[in-house]
Homo-oligomer: A and B are copies of this chain.
Amino acid sequence: MSDISRNGHSGSGQPGRIGIGLELDDIHLKILEILRENGRISVAALAERVGISRANAYTRFEALRADGAIKRFTAEIDHGRAGLGITALIFVTVRQQMWKQFRAELARMPEVEYCAITTGQHDAMIQVRVADVAAVHTMVTDRLANIPAVKATETVFILDEVLRRPYVLPGDGRQAARPARRPAQEERDDVPLGKMRFVGAAEGRAALQKDD
């Protein structure tokens, strides 16, 4: 139910568009860094780790929350232990005029953890967590297939989740974090380009986003 696209700083955000309401400085980023790996740390302890006063930490903490830079705090659950041992990705091709309906149906499927609109061969990718393989089949055939907006699906299973970072932030020891220096052409034409493939949006898909 949490629609994270409405004020659209996710995914569809303009490149380099930083700090609309709040100017995020290094201390803000450090706070976020700590909070993403320990969402329950006290503000007092946070202040100490960042090296600022408690009052300052409270002010910044509240500002980040109010600004929306921190969207929420959440507990990461071990799905296996909670009885949802199967994870699958379902790539969906959506009839363009019916995008809004597709969204509404998604909101009614609690097994969907994530849904994103993508470029490439399909229009959307959804990630589902269910108890067993049969439930994936039920989900795809009974629920998704009966949505008129769904033209086709392709399902793959997740065999193992190798890595999940709480939430990526700029400056994680990265070189091209914010302004992103673009290497000159000469510097990068030694790259084996034949290995890779970029997949743009299918024709006429520009309309998809405005569709709702």
Q: Is the CB of A115 within 8 A of B39?
A: no
What's the Cα separation between A84 and B13 when bound, in Å?
Answer: 8
Binding site for B on A (CB under 8 A): 1-5, 8-20, 22, 24, 29, 32, 35-40, 67-87, 89, 103, 106-107, 110-120, 124-126, 128-135, 137-138, 140-142, 144-146, 150-170, 172-174, 176-180, 182-183, 188, 191-193, 195-199, 201, 208-209
Q: Which of chain B's residues has its CB closest to A74's CB?
A: B166
Return the contact of A80 from the options B13, B146, B176, B209 (Cβ within 8 A): B13
Q: Is the CB of B73 within 8 A of A142?
A: no
Q: Is the CB of A77 within 8 A of B85?
A: no
> A73-B40, A180-B130 are known contacts. Are A168 and B113 too (CB-CB below 8 A)?
yes
What would be 30 A-B contacts, judged by CB atoms less than 8 Å apart?
A: A9-B80, A9-B85, A10-B79, A11-B161, A13-B85, A13-B86, A15-B86, A16-B83, A17-B83, A18-B83, A35-B74, A37-B74, A39-B74, A67-B81, A68-B78, A71-B76, A73-B75, A74-B75, A111-B168, A119-B159, A131-B176, A144-B196, A145-B196, A146-B191, A151-B195, A154-B196, A155-B198, A155-B199, A156-B199, A157-B201
What's the Cα separation between A196 and B143 when bound, in Å?
Answer: 12
The residue among A3, A67, A77, A135 with the most chain B CB atoms within 10 A of its own CB is A77
